[in-house]
Amino acid sequence: MTWLDVVAEDDLADGAAALFRSAFGGEPDGVWIAPGRVNLIGEHIDYAGGLVLPFALPYATAVAVRRREDTVMRAVSTRTDESWTGQLEEIGPGTPSGWAAYVAGVAWALQEHRIGGVDVAVHSSVPVGSGLSSSAALECSFALALSDLFGLAVDRNVLIDASIRAENEIAGASTGGMDQNIAMSARAGHALLLDCLDGSTRQIPIDLAASGTSLLVIDTNAPHRLVDGQYGARRAALDTACSELGVATLRGLPLEEAVSGLVDDTLIARVRHVISEIRRVELAVDLLDGGAAGAELGELMTASHHSLRDDYEVSSPELDSAVDAALRTGAYGARMTGGGFGGSAIALVPSDLVRTVADEITSSATRSGLPAPTFLIAEPAGSAHRFF
């Protein structure tokens, strides 16, 4: 079984600073750190005006950054040999391509605030491309660095918006804003209830240990599939449903009303997922408000998975295998998390069963010829901050 070690913040910062010295020479002006996240419940509804309930992970991205006197930007990362050097004014949709779009895009989105050139070195403990939000961790750590280094007198919402624009417009990934919100607003020991209709948030205390439970994250290590278009297709289906129903949002619409107003079975299934998932988030928040994070919360998670698998059709054999194995071995509940089609699943597990559950998930993946997953334990961590 492979467990992903938590990297202490000073080691993470050291890694970024060491890369900075070897790539650029001299010392960075500072190091900024932002976390990855898991979404406890509320999947594929951020772009549908729904409610989501993510929390930050103790896995994070550190950026070591130094101001320059010109308008050049240079970016390097310990995850790739591919570096980028360019002028701030050449940044735009598709330029740069590749990973540097996520950092360059943030500088681009903040250009009206008179950002100058910078050198940036990245070091991360967030698995990349596993649905644990390495992209927002990168954008948000860098957005905070630019804000501090250039004395931007803006609140975090401006940095959240800049990070979202970087991802949507420069990196070309049309994701919702959940990841950037949690990276910037997380509080240790809390999940963040984010209302995607009006952008309001509420911190929800979550004490897994007090309920004797652990949240096991299962990175399926599934090979990346060609699913481009699936995400857009789901969003488009919801737009079609809204226009057929004559509503601006599915939020607040009773399920029976939505079902009776639609004819296409696939469309009905997609809408059923959205409306039922929003309800599950509300119920999960009620449970957490009451201090419960055990069997009942687990049931909601499992129902969420079935809805994503059957009605929304965004699961995968790897995710289903992990969820089924967890449930067979005593997990309170389990579900895919993130965009789906691979990536990660989560299981709410009585703490004394964590190893048994992880064992069975691994064996069952191996039996089915699937990649062996990587495991980590999620404990709600804090938000993006300056390390030094």
Reading the block at residue 288, the tokens are 């957490």
Q: Which of 17, 20, 84, 124 binds ligand ADP (CB under 6 A)?
A: 124
Q: Is 131 in the site for ligand ADP (CB under 6 A)?
A: yes
Tell me the residue length of the chain: 388
Q: Least CB distance from residue 31 to ligand ADP, whole Å?
A: 14
Q: Closer CB to ligand ADP, residue 38 or residue 242?
A: 38
Binding residues (CB under 5 A) for Mg ion: these are 133, 135
Reading the block at residue 117, the tokens are 């050139």
In whole angstroms, what is the distance from residue 174 CA to residue 233 CA? Answer: 12
In whole angstroms, what is the distance from residue 27 CA to residue 30 CA? Answer: 8
Q: Which of 33, 48, 91, 132 binds ligand ADP (CB under 6 A)?
A: 132
Q: Closer CB to ligand ADP, residue 104 or residue 357?
A: 104
Render 265-298 in DSSP notation, one character per residue.
HHHHHHHHHHHHHHHHHHHHHHHHHTT--SHHHH
* Residue 132 interacts with which of ligand ADP, Mg ion, none, CB < 5 to 8 Å by class: ligand ADP
Distance of CA 165 to the CA centre of its chain: 16
Measured in degrees and rounded to the nearest 5, phi and psi for residue 259 equal -65, -40
Q: Closer CB to ligand ADP, residue 342 or residue 350?
A: 342
Please check whether residue 353 is in contact with residue 328, taking contact to mean a CB–CB distance below 8 angstroms: no
Q: Least CB distance from residue 212 to Mg ion, whole Å?
A: 32
Q: Least CB distance from residue 191 to ligand ADP, whole Å?
A: 18
Q: Is 47 in the site for ligand ADP (CB under 6 A)?
A: no
* Residue 344 interacts with which of Mg ion, ligand ADP, none, CB < 5 to 8 Å by class: none
> Residues touching ligand ADP: how many (CB under 6 A)?
18
Distance of CA 365 to the CA centre of its chain: 24
- Burial class for 238, CB neighbours closer than 10 Å (0-12, 13-18, 19+): buried
Q: Which of 47, 99, 341, 387 binds ligand ADP (CB under 6 A)?
A: 99
Reading the block at residue 306, the tokens are 């079935």
Q: Is 60 in the site for ligand ADP (CB under 6 A)?
A: no
Measured in degrees and rounded to the nearest 5, phi and psi for residue 169 equal -95, -35
* Catalytic (active site) residue 198: no
- Strand 374-378 vs strand 2-3: parallel, antiparallel, or unpaired? parallel
* Residue 130 interacts with which of ligand ADP, Mg ion, none, CB < 5 to 8 Å by class: ligand ADP
Q: Which of 122, 271, 349, 381 binds ligand ADP (CB under 6 A)?
A: 122
Q: Which of 2, 22, 80, 260 binds ligand ADP (CB under 6 A)?
A: 80
CB atoms within 10 A of CB 339: 17
CA angle at 365 for the pair 364 and 368, rounded to the nearest 5°: 85
Q: Closer CB to ligand ADP, residue 2 or residue 366?
A: 2
Q: Is 134 in the site for ligand ADP (CB under 6 A)?
A: yes
In whole angstroms, what is the distance from residue 179 CA to residue 230 CA? Answer: 19
Please check whether residue 37 is in contact with residue 346, taking contact to mean a CB–CB distance below 8 angstroms: no
Q: Which of 38, 54, 77, 314 binds ligand ADP (CB under 6 A)?
A: 77
Out of 119, 179, 219, 311, pick the active-site residue: 179
Q: Least CB distance from residue 99 to ligand ADP, whole Å?
A: 3
Q: Closer CB to ligand ADP, residue 140 or residue 159?
A: 140
Q: Which residue shows structure tokens 């599950």?
A: 280
Chain contacts with ligand ADP (rule: CB under 6 A) = 61, 77, 79-80, 99, 102, 122, 124, 128-135, 138, 173
* Residues marked as catalytic: 179
